[in-house]
Amino acid sequence: MSGTGHSAALSDGEELLFRQVHPNCIQEGRIGKNAFDPTETREPDRLSVARETLTTPAAAYDLHVRTGHVSAGTWAVSVQECASLDLPARPDPTPVDPAHAFVDFAGLSKNATKKKARLLAKVAMDRGALYTPS
Amino acid sequence: MSSQFTRFDPRAWQESGLLIALPRETPSRLQRHQPWKIAVALSVTLAGSAATGSFVGDAGATELLQPVPAAYVLEGSVARGRQPADSSRGPDIEKRLRELHALIVERGDQPGWLQRDSLDRVGKILGRVAEDYELPFPYIYASNDGELSAEWSFGNWEVDLTFDRSVERVIAFAIHSRSQEVEEFTLPLDRANAIDRIGRFAARFHDAA
């Protein structure tokens, strides 16, 4: 995360938001709810993603791994799919990752957060992996 | 249908229709007799030492890891089950449990995270639920704080069971992906009917799909 304030929400509903999924969150190709649960991360109300308009599924994966993280591949939800759950997606570019954005879970209880995480995981799972390393 | 036992006489087991062969010489073997299957973990105790194994029984024969020369007590349960696993049984739960065991070892049995005995207990519970209610095995994931979640997708219903780290309680949760209708309850696992409540909950969404 680079900024502390809330930037305006992304408005192109069709834009995909790439999410790197940890191998522990995958079993036999199925991703678990915790893959989209921000309470599983250091910032419990921000789910890190990368914007389709500024990167690609493969490039997002490469950057994630190159910066010391582990990923099984790139999955995605759209801005509109997040908005339909009352989850705004906000740009959050950093020097390392200009495509960085986050899905904003601010103000939600842990229970509500987990509920929405389940639904995002379902949407991403239905869409399928956009990139997995060969 | 299942039967429970805490102290088990193999002669009685044979009388109940389950073929079991435990040679007096090593290694011991358990062999199921169709259509029975061994549904959960078993332990063999002899002369004060114990050998344990997890058998979520699709194999025709299961080999214990330690010699069993003579006297023994078995603990666990057996259930009249389906024929050997196929794709309708869902993911390979035994393989997944081995993967999670390996993950625990990889993390160095990290205090405050998932523990082996907790994983074994959850495996037993899920084996019972799947067997008794004829459900596919769920997908299993470990969270960063050591909780285990078991997840099924039944049509538009996403159903999951979240076990706390000490496996003292479970949160059963289901959400309809279109209507976002939610059903949820929390259950202490020391309740006598805990597995039945979990099984009935999951089976309802399975049957509706």
- Chain B contact probe: residue of A22, A26, A27 with most B CBs at under 10 A: A27
Of B92, B96, B175, the CB nearest to A115: B175
Kindly report, residue by residue over A59-101, the tens digit of the pLDDT: 999 999 999 999 999 999 999 999 999 999 999 999 999 999 9
Each residue of B131-161: pLDDT tens digit?
A: 899 999 999 998 888 889 999 999 999 999 9
Q: A117 in a domain, yes or no?
A: yes
Q: Within a domain: residue A85?
A: yes
Q: How many distinct structural domains can be found in chain A?
A: 1
SS (H, E, C) chain B: CEEEECCCCHHHHHHCCCCCCCCCCCCCEEECCCCEEECCCEEEEECCEEEEECCCCCCCEEECCCCCCCCCEEEEEEEECCCCCCHHHCCCHHHHHHHHHHHHHHCCCCCCCCCHHHHHHHHHHHHHHHHHCCCCCCEEEECCCCCEEEEEEECCEEEEEEECCCCCEEEEEEEECCCCCEEEEEEECCCCCHHHHHHHHHHHHHHHC
Query: Which of A22, A26, A33 would best serve as a mutation to test chain B binding (most B beta carbons within 10 A)?
Result: A33
The structure's pTM equals 0.70
A45 domain residue, yes or no: yes
Domain assignment of residue A101, yes or no:
yes
Question: Is A32's CB within 8 Å of B96's CB?
Answer: no
Residue A48 lies in a domain: yes
Residue A9 lies in a domain: no
| Nearest residue in chain A measured CA to CA from B141 | A25
State the complex-level ipTM. Answer: 0.84
Judge whether A11 lies within some domain. no
Question: Could you tell me the residue range of the domain that residue A111 belongs to?
Answer: 16-127
